[in-house]
């Protein structure tokens, strides 16, 4: 089944088996919880943002399916070194690419493009977006739990 191979690409399986940045950051100054009530996926995200609004470090902990763990793992890799403004702009494009059928993006999503396989699996899109919603919530520092619902 080619769709299945598209969804569970090697990169995703690898990130699930050994996720990057899977730790609580002691000196984080942004923090949020994410929860997907449908799957029971739970995520805690930790970010360190410096005075120039640059994300200098990112980590996460939690439990979830391969898609949500790989998404958080890839995302935390991606965030490091980016400015908040960059990340927000990127999120909008990437979220549209994940969720809307017709979105045509000119942006190069780099390694994160592997996550676009979920488009063929509408029931799983929320698994891929959980980490990103949590990141948004951490940056806005709402202190509330981000939810996919």
Residues that bind other proteins (CB under 8 A): 1, 3-4, 7-8, 13, 16-17, 38-42, 63-67, 121, 123-124, 127
Q: How far is the CB of 35 from other proteins (least distance, A)?
A: 10
Q: How far is the CB of 114 from other proteins (least distance, A)?
A: 14
Per DSSP, 86 falls in state H
Cβ distance to other proteins smaller for residue 16 or 137? 16
CB neighbours of residue 133 within 10 Å: 21
Cβ distance to other proteins smaller for residue 66 or 107? 66
Cβ distance to other proteins smaller for residue 63 or 105? 63
Q: How far is the CB of 66 from other proteins (least distance, A)?
A: 5
Assess contact for 73 and 20: CB atoms under 8 A.
yes
d(CA 79, CA 110): 13
Q: How far is the CB of 148 from other proteins (least distance, A)?
A: 12
Structure tokens at 122: 């509408």
C-alpha distance from residue 12 to each of 15, 60, 80 (Å): 5, 16, 19
């Amino acid at each position: 089944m080619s769709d299945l191979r598209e969804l569970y690409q090697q990169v995703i399986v690898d990130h699930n088996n050994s996720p990057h940045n899977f730790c609580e950051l002691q000196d984080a100054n942004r923090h949020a919880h994410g929860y997907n009530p449908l799957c029971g996926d739970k995520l805690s995200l930790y970010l360190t943002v410096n005075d120039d609004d640059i994300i200098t470090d990112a980590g996460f902990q939690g439990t979830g399916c391969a898609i949500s763990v790989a998404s958080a793992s890839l995302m935390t890799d991606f965030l490091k070194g980016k400015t908040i403004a960059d990340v927000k702009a990127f999120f909008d494009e990437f979220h549209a690419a994940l969720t809307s059928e017709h979105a045509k993006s000119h942006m190069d999503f780099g390694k994160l493009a592997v996550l676009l396989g979920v488009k063929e699996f509408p029931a799983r899109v929320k698994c891929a977006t959980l980490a990103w919603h949590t990141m948004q919530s951490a940056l806005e520092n709402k202190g509330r739990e981000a939810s996919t619902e």
